[in-house]
Amino acid sequence: DRIICMLFGTCQTFLLEWLSFLVENEKISNARHKELHFVKTRLQDAIRKKLKNDFRLDAFGSSENGFGSNKSDYDVFFRYGNDNYERSSEMQIQTIINIEQALRAARFSRVMSITTAKVPIVKFAIRVESGEIEGDISYYNELALHNTQLLKRYCSWTKDETLSKLGMFIKKWAKNCEIGDASKGSLSSYAYIILLIHFLQRLPDPLLPVLQEMGEKRTIQVDGWDVYFCDDEPMPSWSQCTLSVSELFLQFLEYFAKFDWQNQVVQIRQTNKLTKIEKGWKKLMCIEDPFDLDHNLGSGISPRMFAFIMKSFVTSREVFFTLKEREGFVRSNMAA
Ligand code: 3AT
Ligand code: MG
């Protein structure tokens, strides 16, 4: 029995170390940043040939927010240069179709526009030295640019790279469990990072503050929502993380396996709890966007998917925790 325990313990340590190693190796590198810059230039050149108007492209999402890996896709916004961007959906769809034609003409691969979704996009892929980069271009959404900055601020809160590694780790775990793809009825990477920040804000010794409540709070309106967050230097008391990525991951699983999904809303904008009744939300999974407070990131989750996501949290927690306990048992026995 002891030998089996020891093997399990070793496996768990090995597995977690191995995952940490993978994440470490996949962290977005300078070489990757250069390739992304190259892709942006290629996109600009291609679009310029097709569209007469002045325009600009802005990257957002994981290539910018600190939680990106060398395998992440490249999310890009298109907007007209004069900044009076057109909001009518017909115009947006027409622009997206024009961009699609421009990318086809410039020989990008797997070019495909999706104009039936809430946010019309053009998907594309392009070969670069390290392999292939997939991406999509959507029409300018200023709020997403602000939430990218908010995530980036949280990601850089601790001096070391614990948070970015943990975020990448969780996104990878969610994708492996097939619960990390909003287009397939589960949750987006973005939603998992919101879960992570919420959890870190609520540790007995919080690792993250609530940036939207801190500093000289003032209102900054974008699309009718307040996008203020404190952007000052980190305070020393917050800046050290003594827990490892694997320890935090286990606690993250534990927290959401036991979360009161029936009554509570996951949110990162206030210290106080927020209930579904207060929001008037009835969905099984309620995850509030930090800026667009009408937006529930869990609104697309079906009862079946909810059960599947919960099962992933509970099962992963059980597997990792059981192994951890056995490892502890073995260690104490060996020490004795
Ligand atoms: P990956 O590394 O690509 O998996 P990501 O951070 O790029 O992670 P997504 O591709 O899911 O995450 O989303 C790209 C950005 O789009 C992140 C966020 O700024 C914005 N975004 C995504 N989903 C939502 C949403 N439901 N509401 C508001 N903004 C969103
Ligand atoms: Mg992305």
Nearest-angstrom CA–CA distance, 288 and 96: 29
Say which ligand is closest to the CA of 296. 1
Cα–Cα–Cα angle for 7, 11, 15, rounded to 5 degrees: 175
- Which of 27, 170, 188 most suits a substitution to test ligand 1, by most atoms within 8 Å of the C-beta? 188
Residue 101: C-alpha distances to residues 55, 136, 197 (Å): 16, 14, 39
Structure token digits, residue 330: 């073995």
Q: How many domains is the chain partitioned into structurally?
A: 2
Q: 184 lies in a domain?
A: yes
* 218/76: higher pLDDT: 76
Residues 201 and 266 reside in one and the same domain: yes
Residue 233, domain CATH: 1.10.1410.10
Residues 165 and 256 reside in one and the same domain: yes
For residue 56, give the amino acid letter: R
- Which of 75, 76, 136, 166 most suits a substitution to test ligand 1, by most atoms within 8 Å of the C-beta? 75
- Give the number of the atom of ligand 1 that is nearest the alpha carbon of residue 67: 6
Lowest mean pLDDT among 27-36, 206-215, 241-250: 241-250
Residues 102 and 220 reside in one and the same domain: no
Ligand 1 geometric centre to CA of 257 (Å)? 23
Residues 202 and 257 reside in one and the same domain: yes
Rounded mean pLDDT, 106-118: 92
Q: 17 lies in a domain?
A: no
Rounded mean pLDDT, 169-193: 94
Ligand 1 binding site (Cβ under 6 Å of any ligand atom):
60-62, 65, 67-68, 72-73, 75, 144, 147-148, 171, 188-190, 289, 295, 297
User: Which residue's alpha carbon is nearest to atom 4 within ligand 1?
Assistant: 189
For residue 109, give the amino acid letter: S
What does the pLDDT read at residue 89? 83
Ligand 2 geometric centre to CA of 69 (Å)? 10
Residue 94, domain CATH: 3.30.460.10
Nearest-angstrom CA–CA distance, 163 and 171: 12
Find tokens 């290539």 and name the residue: 63
Nearest-angstrom CA–CA distance, 182 and 297: 9
Rounded mean pLDDT, 277-284: 98
Ligand 1 geometric centre to CA of 314 (Å)? 25
Q: 19 lies in a domain?
A: no
Nearest-angstrom CA–CA distance, 141 and 78: 9
Residues 49 and 186 reside in one and the same domain: no
Nearest-angstrom CA–CA distance, 239 and 111: 43
Nearest-angstrom CA–CA distance, 80 and 51: 10
Q: 25 lies in a domain?
A: no
Q: 46 lies in a domain?
A: yes
What does the pLDDT read at residue 160? 77
Say which ligand is closest to the CA of 138. 1
Residues 122 and 185 reside in one and the same domain: no
Ligand 2 geometric centre to CA of 193 (Å)? 12
Residues 88 and 176 reside in one and the same domain: no
Domain end (from 141, 171, 193): 141
Residues 173 and 124 reside in one and the same domain: no
Does residue 205 sit in helix, strand or coil?
Answer: coil
- Which of 179, 190, 288 most suits a substitution to test ligand 1, by most atoms within 8 Å of the C-beta? 190
* 40/158: higher pLDDT: 40
Cα–Cα–Cα angle for 41, 45, 49, rounded to 5 degrees: 165
User: Which residue's alpha carbon is nearest to atom 24 within ligand 1?
Assistant: 190
Q: 260 lies in a domain?
A: yes
Q: 127 lies in a domain?
A: yes
Residues 81 and 134 reside in one and the same domain: yes
User: Which residue's alpha carbon is nearest to atom 29 within ligand 1?
Assistant: 144
Residues 83 and 206 reside in one and the same domain: no
Nearest-angstrom CA–CA distance, 43 and 257: 43
Residues 169 and 307 reside in one and the same domain: yes
Does residue 312 sit in helix, strand or coil?
Answer: helix
Torsions phi, psi of 109, nearest 5? -100, 165
Residue 336, pLDDT above cutoff 50: no
User: Which segments within 3-130 are labelled E, that is strand?
Assistant: 55-60, 74-80, 109-114, 121-128
Q: What is the mean pLDDT of the chain?
A: 88
Q: 10 lies in a domain?
A: no
Q: What is the pLDDT of residues 291-300, one digit of tens each?
A: 999 999 999 9
In contact, 297 and 198? CB cutoff 8 Å:
no
Residue 238, pLDDT above cutoff 60: no
Rounded mean pLDDT, 56-60: 96
Residues 320 and 217 reside in one and the same domain: yes
Does residue 259 sit in helix, strand or coil?
Answer: coil
Say which ligand is closest to the CA of 135. 2
What does the pLDDT read at residue 332? 52
Residue 331, pLDDT above cutoff 90: no
**Segments forming the whole domain that contains residue 206:** 161-328
